[in-house]
């Protein structure tokens, strides 16, 4: 269908533009800066004060997979009964290993469902060895291997608990998604400004980068003895993720490394989103406009080191494990590094 036959276009809104962005990370090759990554960032101190504000962190962004911890809180508070590993998988962008898939299937089977209930798109595992195993076995891409299948399984468990429709759980009008929206607004302290469709098919809710940081900080510092049920659930989700770092992404993969090496509550999102909350509550949220998740991770680590929340030596060590080395002729000649 031609553009003219589609009817009037809906008004288009968006995030901050390049004129509001600042340089957050650079790629250095043989002493030459060849790539510059610009965006916005905010660092909140342990008490919630803004320690750093770069670019325009009050502009709306789509958190993408950085929203998964909030979605897991919503699923559990709506009645999904998940153990610690299953809770971690509900927040994960997992690699599709056999261990990840087993936990996802465990969530589904606990409520009488199987892979066919998942509405996320089919995929092959992101983990190379697991992908090779699937291909050698003659199996096809399947929703259970998709990195968001844990989130979807948790959502389905909540739907079963409430007797809600299973065939439309990704529709933004579905009771579960309305509950997710409410949880996002309560934890971030903001009203959702736009609803989009994420890559997995579930709704993704636009909030500001500052609101995202505030919500992540509230989750990371919540107490399981809180008088408020929402915060008890948030604390459970954060603890489960940190205690099962392998589930969040996979062994040796960046978010898992950040949790294991510096004790961060770390979760990235597609198209240049990164959130990190340190044990003392210091929290960074970063959005890189060109969509580089690697640059966003590097910038978040650098900013947390800048304010003293991560020791410089520890920061240098973890950056070395995040795949930031630039090769020339097969040997290291530079790196992706924080701009500041």
Give domain status of residue 308, yes or no.
Answer: yes
Taking only the tens place, the pLDDT of each residue in 22-50 is 999 999 999 999 999 999 999 999 999 99
Give domain status of residue 5, yes or no.
Answer: no
> What does the angle CA 118 – CA 152 – CA 79 come to, to the nearest 5 degrees?
115
What is the pLDDT averaged over residues 116-138? 97
Taking only the tens place, the pLDDT of each residue in 208-251 is 999 999 999 999 999 999 999 999 999 999 999 999 999 999 99
Residue 1 pLDDT: 41
Confidence band of 12 (pLDDT split at 50, 70, 90): confident
Q: What's the CA gap between 297 and 136, in Å, rounded?
A: 34
Q: Pull the structure tokens for residue 91.
A: 């927040």
CATH number at residue 320: 3.40.710
Asked if residue 28 lies in contact with residue 237, where contact means CB atoms within 8 angstroms, the answer is no
Confidence band of 101 (pLDDT split at 50, 70, 90): very high
The total domain count for the chain is 1
Asked if residue 340 lies in contact with residue 276, where contact means CB atoms within 8 angstroms, the answer is no
Give domain status of residue 3, yes or no.
Answer: no
Taking only the tens place, the pLDDT of each residue in 145-164 is 999 999 999 999 999 999 99
Confidence band of 8 (pLDDT split at 50, 70, 90): low
Asked if residue 288 lies in contact with residue 268, where contact means CB atoms within 8 angstroms, the answer is no
Q: What's the CA gap between 155 and 333, in Å, rounded?
A: 45
Q: Which helix (H) or strand (E) holds 216?
A: helix 209-221
- Range of the structural domain that residue 155 is part of: 15-338
What is the pLDDT averaged over residues 122-137? 97
Q: Pull the structure tokens for residue 292.
A: 């580089």
DSSP code per residue over 58-84: TSEE--GGGGHHHHHHHHHHTT----H
C-alpha to C-alpha distances, 294 to 47, 209, 270, 297, nearest whole angstrom:
28, 18, 10, 5
Lowest mean pLDDT among 4-8, 52-56, 243-247, 256-260: 4-8
pLDDT at 102 over 70: yes
Give domain status of residue 204, yes or no.
Answer: yes
Asked if residue 80 lies in contact with residue 161, where contact means CB atoms within 8 angstroms, the answer is yes
Give domain status of residue 2, yes or no.
Answer: no
């Amino acid at each position: 269908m031609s553009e003219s036959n589609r009817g009037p276009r809906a008004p288009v809104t968006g995030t901050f533009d390049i004129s509001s962005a600042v340089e957050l990370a650079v790629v250095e090759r043989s002493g030459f800066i060849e790539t510059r990554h610009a965006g916005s960032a905010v660092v909140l101190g342990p008490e919630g004060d803004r320690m750093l504000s770069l670019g325009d962190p009050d502009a709306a962004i789509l958190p993408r997979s950085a929203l998964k911890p909030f979605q897991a809180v919503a699923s559990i508070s709506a009645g999904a009964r998940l153990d610690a590993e299953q809770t971690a998988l509900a927040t994960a962008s997992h690699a599709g290993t056999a261990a990840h898939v087993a936990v996802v299937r465990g969530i589904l089977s606990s409520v009488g469902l199987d892979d066919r209930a998942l509405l996320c798109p089919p995929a092959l595992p992101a983990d190379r060895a697991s992908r090779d195993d699937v291909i050698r076995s003659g199996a096809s891409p399947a929703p259970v291997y998709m990195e968001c299948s844990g989130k979807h399984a948790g959502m389905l468990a909540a739907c079963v608990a409430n007797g809600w429709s299973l065939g439309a759980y990704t529709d933004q009008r579905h009771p579960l998604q309305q509950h997710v929206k409410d949880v996002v607004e309560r934890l971030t302290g903001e009203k959702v400004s736009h609803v989009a469709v994420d890559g997995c098919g579930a709704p993704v809710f636009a909030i500001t980068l500052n609101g995202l940081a505030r919500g992540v900080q509230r989750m990371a510092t919540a107490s399981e003895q809180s008088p408020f049920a929402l915060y008890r659930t948030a604390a459970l989700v954060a603890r489960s993720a940190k205690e099962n770092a392998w589930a969040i992404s996979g062994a040796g993969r960046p978010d898992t490394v950040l949790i294991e090496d510096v004790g961060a509550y770390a979760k990235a999102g597609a198209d240049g989103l990164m959130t990190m909350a340190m044990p003392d509550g210091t929290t960074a949220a970063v959005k890189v406009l060109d969509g580089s998740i690697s640059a966003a991770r590097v910038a978040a680590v650098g900013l947390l080191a800048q304010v003293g929340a991560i020791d410089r030596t520890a920061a240098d060590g973890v950056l070395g494990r995040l795949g930031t080395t630039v090769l020339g002729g097969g040997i290291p000649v530079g790196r992706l590094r924080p701009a500041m």
